[in-house]
Amino acid sequence: RFECYPIDCRVEISMQRLERAISSKPSQQHLVISDDPKGKGLGFAACARLLNTTRQEKDSKNKLTAIGSSTTFLITGVTSYTSETPVLSCLEKLDAAAMYNYVELRQRHIQDFTSAFGFTRLSLRESARFVPSSRQDIDTEILDTGVRVAELGEECVWQNKSKYLIMDPSLIALSYNYARYLLVSSSRENSVAPANLQGVWADG
């Protein structure tokens, strides 16, 4: 979901893959990337749908474009491991989700994840964090995550001229929870297969 108050913003979404992929646009609201029917290997489809927007532009078959103060995209994927027709199944999943608005979808998502996500909690002392003195008054949570990762372990000079390594305990907790989120997303009790390392081989 993209929000651009108080002015409208232009949002474009496209999907690409290095090989064995064909892009298509079944409608002005749908975008699909799927495997080449002439190719070999596992069949797949990734689909996106524009849920709601103020204005929508008609553009090329390779992207969806929306202009408005609030825009929601739905994205899902299916492989031939679970469906003989990945593209059709993918579009059906999107259309089923599109029956709900953003607030309803978010609430259903929270309820679903809470049942699997709420068993553990990691809390690390924020007082153990050392940052450059120029950012002492900045809330850690609003900093760009990439900046926090890049600075972790770097040397900085404290106000009393002492040198410390930058420590960010809440970033470690965030990474822990993110890993759990990905695992819950990829495999559940009734999943057809356990989670594996297929992301490592995605370019092959």
If we measure between CA atoms, which residue out of 45, 35, 23, 42 comes closest to residue 91?
45
Greatest Cα pair distance, the chain, in angstroms, is 67
Could you tell me the mean pLDDT of each successive run of 10 residues in the chain, 204 residues long? 79 83 86 83 90 64 81 90 91 93 92 84 64 55 80 72 74 88 82 68 53
Phi, psi dihedral angles at 37 (to 5 degrees): -55, -25
| Residue-wise pLDDT tens digits, 103-120 | 999 999 999 888 888 888
Q: What is the pTM of this model?
A: 0.69
| Residue-wise pLDDT tens digits, 8-48 | 888 888 888 877 888 888 888 889 999 877 777 888 999 99
Question: How far is Cα 89 from Cα 45, in angstroms, rounded to an integer?
Answer: 9
Bridge partners of residue 76, in order along the sequence: 47
